[in-house]
């Protein structure tokens, strides 16, 4: 009987008197106790999860900083040998230990931004079509899977396709406009890159368009707006920050592309005279010459080339972040 009584009683300290007070353990008290225990478990789990996120976040920062420090350390020989002339030098001659990356820097920026200009209309068209006209249904699923498949194809496959299909078409076009018909060059590599980066901006843009509140569009329709007017005046202004973020994501993808560009750009160390001329990018030079670096300064110059590409990518992403914030505030 005493045990039953003990089970029916709960004790709690009385802070004012210092005594232990016994009270009846009612069903309401039991449910409150269970809720408190459950709440404590949730708080502990949330604290553990928060600590894990903090550790992962700082680990990412440390990893990026470690990459930067490693590239700087491995580039010391080249920095001492070439100095700041490395950035605007126009001659790349490993035999005489003369290293200037200006042609490769120019080729990287030309191919990337030209590919971005070519891809933007197609990215916006795909995003609007899938997000506004056909958000659901078998047509939407088919096109969405096709667009995502484009991003999943290995870059070397794009390179082979470019050599077999795109280069002859560009060569024929060059002969008609009076340019030396080579087919390999900045323009061809930009076309390849444009095809490769369309899915990134299109997928993000489609997701942003589908997140536009239906009440905003219905209000515009109720005022007599057409479908195009709703897209132009409601959908695009609402999603402009997300659409621009997709464009910057595409640009980052284009800056670092290697194999497809290497196979169709022509691989020359000269400054391209026009967009149809052969050229080189920083990534393609590293891919072509890294295994041929037969002395320390040459190897260090290639690593410094990777450092320059890393810095350019970071700077462009930082500028893009500032622009996205500016769009978000408008």
What pLDDT does residue 217 have? Answer: 86
d(CA 160, CA 158): 6
Residue 98's CB is within 10 A of a number of other CB atoms, namely: 16
pLDDT at residue 266 in the model: 87
* pLDDT score, position 52: 93
pTM value? Answer: 0.79
Where the chain has pLDDT below 50, the residues are 1-10, 12-15, 18, 20-24
Q: Is 69 exposed, middle or buried (0-12, 13-18, 19+ CB in 10 A)?
A: exposed
- Taking every pair of Cα atoms in the chain, the longest distance, rounded to a whole number of angstroms, is 107
End-to-end CA distance of the chain: 74
What local confidence, expressed as pLDDT, does residue 1 receive? Answer: 38
pLDDT number for residue 10: 47
CA distance 17 to 10: 18
């Amino acid at each position: 009987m005493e045990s039953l009584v003990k089970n029916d009683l709960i004790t709690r300290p009385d802070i004012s008197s210092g005594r232990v007070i016994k009270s009846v353990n009612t069903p309401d008290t039991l449910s409150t106790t269970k809720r408190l225990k459950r709440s404590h478990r949730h708080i502990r789990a949330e604290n553990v999860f928060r600590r894990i996120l903090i550790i992962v976040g700082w680990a990412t920062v440390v990893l990026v900083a470690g990459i930067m420090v490693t590239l700087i350390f491995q580039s010391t020989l080249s920095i001492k040998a070439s100095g700041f002339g490395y950035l605007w030098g126009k001659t790349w001659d490993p035999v005489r230990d003369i290293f200037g990356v200006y042609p490769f820097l120019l080729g990287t920026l030309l191919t990337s931004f030209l590919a971005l200009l070519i891809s933007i209309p197609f990215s916006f068209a795909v995003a609007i079509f899938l997000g506004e006209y056909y958000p659901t249904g078998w047509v939407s699923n088919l096109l969405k899977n096709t667009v995502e498949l484009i991003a999943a194809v290995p870059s070397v496959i794009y390179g082979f396709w470019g050599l077999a299909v795109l280069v002859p078409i560009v060569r024929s076009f060059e002969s008609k406009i009076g340019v030396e018909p080579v087919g390999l060059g900045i323009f061809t590599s930009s076309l390849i890159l444009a095809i490769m980066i369309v899915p990134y901006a299109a997928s993000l843009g489609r997701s942003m368009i589908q997140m536009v509140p239906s009440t905003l569009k219905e209000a515009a329709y109720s005022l007599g707006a057409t479908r195009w007017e709703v897209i132009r005046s409601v959908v695009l202004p609402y999603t402009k920050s997300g659409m621009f973020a997709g464009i910057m994501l595409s640009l980052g993808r284009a800056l670092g592309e290697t194999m497809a560009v290497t196979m169709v750009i022509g691989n020359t160390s000269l400054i391209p005279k026009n967009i149809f001329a052969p050229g080189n990018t920083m990534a393609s030079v590293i891919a072509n010459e890294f295994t041929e670096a037969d002395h320390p300064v040459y190897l260090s110059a290639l690593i410094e080339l990777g450092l320059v590409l890393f810095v350019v990518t970071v700077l462009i992403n930082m500028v893009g972040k500032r622009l996205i914030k500016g769009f978000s505030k408008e």
